[in-house]
Structure 1
Amino acid sequence: MKAQINKIIDHGHNDERILIKILEDSDIGEFLVLDTTYSSNGTVSNKVRHPFWFPDQKVKKGDWVTLYTKEGSSRSLKNPDGTIHYLFYWGLKSNVWNNDGDCALLLHVDEWKHHKVTIEK
């Protein structure tokens, strides 16, 4: 995968955030973060909550992405080594990573289709 979750910081607190390292040049807009748990046998549960689909943003190998749970305005910062640190905000009013056993799931979705639902009358 072109990115990986490095760690979850301050889980259960106002500044909770996920730190993601970019492993290959890509577009962070091809990634989603989901909140889930683990099933009794230790596999990732399919009961996902709180999806966050990153906006389109070209990123390079070595860059960092932070996703804050709280509200805020997206921005970027240049690191001393020349890489970029991108800050995104989920805009949620409560914490997501507040229980032992929670699971942060990072999905890479580089192709998708959509279909509008229409009600027949």
Structure 2
Amino acid sequence: MDKIINPGSDGERIVLNVLEDTDIGEYLILDTTYTSSGKVSNKVRHPYWFPDKKVKKGDKVVLYTKEGSNKSVQKTENTIHFFYWNLKSFVWNNEGDYALLLHVKEWESHRVQPE
């Protein structure tokens, strides 16, 4: 993760540098805080799971909090991929907020079935 730009304002976004060819759909961003002992809190909020999309080493991934339509823009050798959380409020609005990037290569889901 590179940085969070303009926290608490309309241009609020996270910029990620792609370090190797991958599918960005294997990653989630979460809003969290840290405990008083400096460890990541288990209070995670505002999950954003990127849609499946191949990205290449050297590309940038930009996640805006605001509403918008996902798109990619080719720049000389690399591509900038823009994603939109489509939230109506800011996420990174407190000094204690932290962005947590999770790599989720394998997962399962199970529908709840009433007995």
Q: TM-score, normalised by structure 1?
A: 0.93
Shift of 1:119: 1.2
Runs of 4+, deviation exceeding 6 Å: none
- Distance in 2 (CA, whole Å) between partners of 1:22 and 1:14 is 24
Q: What is the aligned length?
A: 115
For 1:1-121, list aligned pairs within 5 A.
5-80=1-76, 82-120=77-115
Shift of 1:79: 1.1
RMSD over aligned Cα atoms: 0.5
- Distance in 1 (CA, whole Å) between partners of 2:114 and 2:100 is 33
- Distance in 2 (CA, whole Å) between partners of 1:83 and 1:102 is 30
- Distance in 2 (CA, whole Å) between partners of 1:91 and 1:56 is 17
Shift of 1:85: 0.3
AA aligned to 1:46 is N
- Distance in 1 (CA, whole Å) between partners of 2:24 and 2:13 is 16
Shift of 1:62: 0.4
Q: TM-score, normalised by structure 2?
A: 0.98
Aligned partner of residue 29 in structure 1, secondary structure = helix
CA offsets, 1:27-71, max 9 Å, x none? 000000000001011111011000000000000100000000000
Q: Which runs of 5+ in 1 are unaligned?
A: none
Q: Which runs of 5+ in 2 are unaligned?
A: none
Shift of 1:108: 0.3
Aligned partner of residue 56 in structure 1, secondary structure = coil
Task: State the percentage of identical aligned residues.
Answer: 63
Aligned partner of residue 93 in structure 2, secondary structure = coil
